[in-house]
């Protein structure tokens, strides 16, 4: 059985972030870009920052517990979409083995 891929922040010194009322704002020091994230993307980022490296199963389980939601396919899809969004912004990546 293969190991589960782990997620981590991508160059955390490169950006700053703040959050208010469930919205997260990120400033990329290198590019000068600012990004606004809503919903699960911010919660996913925050949990990865606190627990890195973390695998998708643990990430989803902890988010479900924190939000008092059932661990179902809808939640798994929402978390996967949030991870994909964060990866597309190069805020998170796969941890090196």
The predicted pLDDT at position 13 comes to: 85
Look up the pTM and report it: 0.88
Q: Is the pLDDT of residue 17 over 60?
A: yes
- Is the distance from CB of 87 to CB of 37 less than 8 angstroms? no
State whether residue 97 is helix, strand or coil.
coil
pLDDT digits (tens, 9 = 90+) for 76-91: 999 999 999 999 988 9
Element housing 20 (H / E): strand 15-20
Beta bridge partners of 16: 27
State whether residue 72 is helix, strand or coil.
coil
Residue 3's pLDDT band, with cuts at 50, 70 and 90, is low
Architecture of domain 12-94: Orthogonal Bundle (1.10)
Residue 97's pLDDT band, with cuts at 50, 70 and 90, is low
């Amino acid at each position: 059985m293969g190991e589960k891929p782990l997620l981590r922040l991508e160059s955390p010194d490169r950006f700053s972030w703040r959050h208010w009322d469930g919205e997260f704002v990120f400033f990329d020091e290198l590019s000068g870009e600012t990004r606004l994230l809503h919903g699960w993307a911010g919660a996913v980022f925050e949990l990865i920052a606190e627990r890195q490296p973390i695998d998708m199963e643990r990430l989803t389980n902890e988010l479900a517990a924190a939000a008092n939601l059932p661990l179902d396919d809808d939640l798994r899809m929402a978390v996967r979409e949030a991870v994909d969004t964060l990866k597309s912004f190069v805020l998170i990546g796969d941890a090196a083995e």
